[in-house]
Structure formats: structure tokens, C-alpha cells
Amino acid sequence: MSTIGTFIRAGDIYTGTLLTLTLNVTVNIVPTDRNSDQGPDYRIYWGSVDCGAAWKRTNEAGRECLSVKIDDPAFPHPIYASLYPDDEPGLFNLVWKRPKG
């Protein structure tokens, strides 16, 4: 697993930097008005560009997180990650894990 972003939360909005070998961008994770049970709880924006979605989840250890999917036509594949609270209050880490297969 690898931390690819660090975020802070103001109200219901998460703001942080997504940092990989090819990306160094500021993104906002903003709550949505869910229209269905399957729709995302959050949308992800680079500036005004909608580039992903996030869903509230509870992992196998019972820890609450956001399941994140970030995509762009320039990517060969979407980025799947989880946003977890850090040990330091008010901070959150975006953690990427390579899919099995």
C-alpha cells in the first residue's frame, strides 16, 4: 500500500494533494445529493473538472473510510484508493493498493 495523498476536511469537503509519479494536483472531494442507493456519496474535482467519485464504506477491520475512484482519459486505468483518517486529528490519507491479478 502507498499513501498518494494527504487531505484536510472542512465541514463535509476534503481538500488535498494527489501525488504520484505522474500527478501532483490539488483535488476537492465534495458531497453529492445522492439520487440512488448506488450513486456516489462524493464527487472529486480538479478545479472545475469532475474526475472521480467516492463512496462511504466500512473496511474489514470496521474502520470507516471513503472508497475512491479517480479517472481521466489520459490514464491507462482508473486509480482506486481509500481515504482514511490519519492518527493526527483533522488529517486524512489517500491510500492506494495495487489490485490483485
d(CA 48, CA 28): 10
Residue 6 φ then ψ, to 5°? -130, 130
Q: Quote the DSSP letter at residue 63.
A: -
Give per-residue pLDDT as tens, 50-89: 999 999 999 888 889 999 999 988 888 899 999 999 999 9
Q: Going by C-beta distance under 8 Å and a sequence separation of 6 or more, which residues neighbour residue 43? A: 29, 30, 32, 50, 52, 53, 54
pLDDT at 67: 95
This prediction has a pTM of: 0.89
Domain boundaries in the chain? Answer: 2-96
* Distance of alpha carbon 45 from the chain centroid: 10
pLDDT at 11: 94
**Mean pLDDT estimate for the chain:** 91
d(CA 1, CA 81): 9
d(CA 4, CA 98): 12
